[in-house]
């Protein structure tokens, strides 16, 4: 959809980069005005050709002027977007693309739906829990469009089960109300699908094959500075227990739940040096910073970061208190790389990382409320366990490092290559 900082965008960039080692790969960015240059530099290989409307600068300026003219004369503001679809079609035909892999879900108005309808190039999509969010609020209108894909990649076994069964097994008025609020603020495209109320035909079910491929996460390539030096630079006492959190600054990511638990932990342990290190930016973080002012110097906001490992190296515990729906958070795997255990919501595919059946736990799962928000008392309890039991912290840290190996890039790339080969063979 765009190249602003988000886990799904990083997954797409690293997948393109990995595939480019053996194949010709193009990356088309639909939101050319929404680009995080640092993220591209960190994750996109120079072997991948990045395309968007700015590749056609003169044409793009003309189309924007025509878009403004149409808007003034008729009120229609979608001319540029319509032309972008035609340019995307041109790119696919011009470069003789064999297969398109989209990291946006196929719904009524998505550009990839038009590709699947009008061009013969096969489309594969990764569901980063977009469909799961729609199912949680009772929207099944996406079925006819999802069925235009040749394959769907689920990022967890939970997501795969939900797609195959068409049921999240979560249903309450509170959940739906909170879910619609999240969709309206953080996932506007999906919410427009919900508001339009386009139910699928009664007999329609998801027919597209679903394959589970866990997100691959690139290991940190550069040597890290000494953790004590980083702590000194950030003003963190050497004996402090540091809780780290990295996410977009939206309500869904659970910043306010983490804040409530952390402030209560400070109240209960006034003599203990505690720090909450916050990595990310967005409206929710801005509101929290304004509310706190300078009262809590132990809560450190470092903004959006291109190299989270620099800050994770000083963390003792990671926090991922997400609400409503979540894919497979890359931050958990990144924390695990530093032997940092994680306290995360018992939500969607997260338990598959934190408490895999065949491995010691790499942290704790937060109990959830009926509306699928994290229970603050549960989060606080797990934070206390690490405060009071350093040996358990070390034990979970060792287990976390073992779990991290399951998300290495080699298997991630190989699994996608096998899937692409299968899809192309089936469409010949």
The per-residue pLDDT for 146 is 93
pLDDT, position 246:
96
Residue 195 has a pLDDT of 55
Cβ atoms 345, 224 nearer than 8 A: no
Rounded to an integer, the average pLDDT of 289-303 is 94
Domains of the chain plus CATH, in order, are 101-106+121-216+409-428 (no CATH), 227-407 (3.40.50.2000)
Q: How confident is the model at residue 201 (pLDDT cuts 50, 70, 90)?
A: very low
Q: Contact, 374 vs 345, CB < 8 A?
A: yes
Say what the pLDDT of residue 188 is.
56
Residue 254 or residue 306, greater confidence: 254
Whether the pLDDT of residue 202 is over 70: the answer is no
pLDDT digits 0-9 by tens, 244-265 = 999 999 888 999 999 999 999 9
What's the rounded mean pLDDT across residues 37-61? 94
> What would the mean pLDDT of 354-371 be, rounded to a whole number?
93
CA distance 356 to 300: 32
pLDDT at position 267 is 96
Residue 86, CA atoms < 13 Å, CB-side half-sphere: 10
Phi, psi angle pair for 387, to nearest 5°: -65, -40
Q: With bands split at pLDDT 50, 70 and 90, how would you rate the model's confidence at 25? A: very high
pLDDT reported for residue 105: 86
Tell me how far apart the terminal alpha carbons of the chain are, to the nearest angstrom: 29
Q: Could you tell me which of 65, 42, 341, 362 has the C-alpha nearest to residue 217?
A: 42
pLDDT per residue over 318-352, tens digit each? 999 999 778 889 999 999 999 999 999 999 899 99
The Cα 1–Cα 103 span in angstroms is: 8
Q: Name the nearest CA neighbour of 6 among 182, 191, 250.
A: 250
Per-residue pLDDT at 233: 93
* pLDDT above 70 coverage of the chain, percent: 92
Radius of gyration of the chain (CA): 22
Backbone CA torsion sign across 201, 203, 208, 213: positive
Which region among 112-126, 144-158, 173-187, 392-406 has the lowest average model confidence (pLDDT)?
A: 173-187
Query: Which pLDDT value is given to residue 170?
Result: 63
Predicted confidence (pLDDT) per residue in 385-404, tens digit: 999 999 999 999 999 999 99
Across the range 123-149, mean pLDDT stands at 87
Predicted confidence band of residue 317 (pLDDT cuts 50, 70, 90): very high
What per-residue confidence (pLDDT) applies to 193? Answer: 47
Residue 200 has pLDDT above 50, yes or no: no
pLDDT greater at residue 76 or residue 1? 76
312 within 8 A of 220, measured Cβ to Cβ: no
**Listed range (13-17, 132-136, 214-218) with the worst mean pLDDT:** 132-136
Mean pLDDT of 275-303: 95
pLDDT for position 165: 86
312 CB-near residues (< 8 Å, 6+ apart):
244, 246, 318, 334, 335, 337, 338, 340
Across residues 200-207, what is the average pLDDT?
66
Question: Virtual CA dihedral for 245, 14, 31, 96, nearest 10 degrees?
Answer: -170
* 53 — pLDDT class (breaks 50, 70, 90): very high
Nearest to 376 by CA among 270, 255, 271: 255
Q: What is the pLDDT of residue 328?
A: 87
Average pLDDT over residues 54-66: 95
Q: How are beta strands 100-102 and 123-127 bridged, if at all?
A: parallel
pLDDT of residue 399: 97
pLDDT at 179: 59
Exposure string for 385-414, b = 16+ CB within 10 A, e = fewer = ebbeeeeebeebbebbeebbebbebeebbe
Q: Which CA distances in Å does 68 have to 75, 109, 203, 249, 382?
A: 9, 21, 43, 32, 54
This prediction's pTM? 0.86
């Amino acid at each position: 959809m765009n190249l602003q900082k988000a886990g799904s965008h990083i997954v797409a960039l690293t997948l393109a980069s990995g595939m480019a080692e053996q194949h010709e790969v193009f990356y088309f960015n639909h939101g050319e005005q929404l680009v995080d240059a640092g993220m591209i530099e960190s994750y996109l290989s120079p072997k991948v050709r990045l395309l968007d409307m700015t590749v056609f600068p003169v044409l793009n300026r003309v189309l924007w002027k025509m878009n403004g003219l149409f808007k003034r004369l008729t009120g229609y503001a979608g001319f540029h977007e319509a032309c972008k679809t035609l340019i995307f079609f041109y790119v696919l035909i011009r470069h003789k693309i064999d297969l398109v892999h989209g990291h946006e879900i196929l719904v009524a108005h998505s550009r990839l739906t038009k590709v699947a309808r009008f061009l013969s190039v096969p489309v594969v999509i990764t569901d980063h829990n977009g469909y799961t969010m729609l199912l949680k609020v009772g929207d099944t209108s996406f079925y006819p469009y999802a069925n235009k894909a040749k394959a769907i990649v689920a990022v967890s076994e939970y997501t795969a089960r939900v797609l195959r069964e068409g049921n999240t097994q979560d249903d309450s008025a509170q959940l739906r109300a909170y879910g619609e609020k999240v969709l309206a603020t953080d996932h506007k495209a999906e919410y427009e699908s919900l508001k339009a109320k386009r139910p699928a035909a009664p007999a329609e079910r998801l027919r597209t094959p679903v394959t589970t491929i866990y997100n691959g996460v690139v290991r940190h390539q550069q040597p890290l500075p000494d953790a004590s030096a980083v702590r000194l630079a950030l003003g963190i006492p050497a004996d402090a227990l540091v809780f780290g959190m990295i996410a977009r600054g939206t309500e869904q990511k659970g910043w306010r739940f983490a804040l409530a638990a952390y402030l209560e932990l400070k109240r209960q342990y006034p003599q203990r040096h505690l720090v909450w290190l916050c990595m990310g930016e967005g409206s929710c973080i801005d509101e929290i910073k304004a509310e706190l002012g300078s009262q809590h110097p132990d809560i450190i906001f470092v903004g959006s970061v291109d190299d989270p490992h620099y800050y994770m190296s000083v963390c003792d515990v990671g926090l991922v208190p997400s609400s409503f729906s979540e894919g497979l958070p890359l931050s958990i795997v990144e924390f695990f790389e530093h032997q940092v255990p994680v306290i995360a919501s018992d939500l969607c595919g997260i338990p598959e990382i934190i408490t895999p059946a065949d491995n010691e736990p790499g942290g704790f799962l937060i109990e959830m409320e009926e509306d699928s928000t994290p229970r603050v008392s549960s989060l606080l309890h797990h934070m206390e366990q690490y405060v009071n039991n350093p040996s358990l912290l070390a034990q979970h840290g060792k287990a976390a490092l073992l779990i991290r190996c399951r998300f290495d890039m080699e298997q991630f790339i190989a699994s996608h290559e096998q899937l692409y080969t299968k899809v192309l063979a089936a469409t010949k």
